């Protein structure tokens, strides 16, 4: 029997009076040999590490659970037809509803404007009569090429990657790749298609 548990229990239970009767009482209430201080803390450490790991694992699993693996959204890469389908000077609004892009043929270039207002993310409308894009939320306005000129928006619309699929000659738009005017990316070869 070690000395330490005896001293612990003595200090906890009785006032520090050294008498003949206190000694046998303390030895009666001392823990048995089965549980040593070292053993207790070892098991406590294992238990706490295990508990923390279990809680951490659960929280991680709950967090990951909130991120869906399958989305029922339109794909970010899609085909919009042949280059000849897009007449010069026209803003094609056929793909805005489902895919969120306008296909614009202007000054010899075919490009895809992403229909998300760069102010706060609302969907602007193409107003043919006024020859501009206008956002209904806060009144931001953009020219046909996507450059902003009125309202609170701080920068032009973004353009998506556009290319010709070599296998069938169709125009492919990839919204996952964006090109920003303010970073000089609109002249990137992937940001437009040369048209006659």
Interface residues toward another protein, by CB under 8 A: 63, 66-68, 71-73, 120-123, 137, 176
What is the smallest separation between the CB atom of 37 and another protein, expressed in angstroms?
36
What is the smallest separation between the CB atom of 137 and another protein, expressed in angstroms?
6
Closer to another protein by CB, 170 or 185: give it.
185
What is the smallest separation between the CB atom of 52 and another protein, expressed in angstroms?
23
Closer to another protein by CB, 12 or 68: give it.
68
Rounded Cα distance, 152 and 2, in Å:
78
Handedness of CA 167, 173, 179, 184 (dihedral sign): positive
Closer to another protein by CB, 22 or 137: give it.
137
Could you write out the DSSP letters of every residue in 120-173? Answer: TS---EEETTTTEEE-TTT--EE-TTS-EEESS--SPPPEEEEEE-TTT--EEE
What is the smallest separation between the CB atom of 162 and another protein, expressed in angstroms?
19
Q: How far is CA 143 from CA 1, 48, 130, 160, 167, in A?
A: 90, 63, 10, 17, 34
Closer to another protein by CB, 103 or 115: give it.
115
Closer to another protein by CB, 66 or 196: give it.
66
Find all residues with CB under 8 Å of 31, minimum gap 6, and list them.
Answer: 5, 9
What is the smallest separation between the CB atom of 76 and another protein, expressed in angstroms?
8
């Amino acid at each position: 029997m070690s000395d330490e548990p005896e001293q612990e229990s003595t200090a906890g239970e009785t006032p520090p009076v050294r008498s003949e009767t206190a000694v046998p009482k303390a030895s009666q209430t001392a823990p048995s040999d089965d549980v040593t201080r070292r053993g207790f803390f070892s098991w406590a450490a294992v238990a706490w590490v295990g508990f923390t790991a279990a809680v951490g694992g659960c929280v991680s699993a709950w967090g990951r659970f909130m991120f869906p693996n399958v989305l029922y959204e339109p794909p970010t890469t899609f085909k919009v037809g042949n280059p000849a389908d897009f007449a010069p000077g026209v803003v094609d609004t056929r793909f805005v509803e489902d895919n969120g892009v306008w296909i614009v043929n202007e000054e010899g270039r075919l490009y895809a404007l992403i229909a998300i207002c760069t102010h706060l993310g609302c969907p602007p409308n193409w107003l043919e009569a006024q020859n501009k894009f206008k956002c209904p939320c806060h009144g931001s306005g953009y020219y046909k090429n996507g450059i902003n000129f009125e309202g609170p928006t701080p920068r032009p619309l973004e353009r998506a990657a556009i290319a010709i699929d070599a296998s069938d000659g169709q125009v492919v738009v990839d919204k996952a790749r964006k090109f920003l005017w303010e970073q000089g990316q609109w002249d990137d070869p992937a940001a437009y298609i040369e048209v006659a």
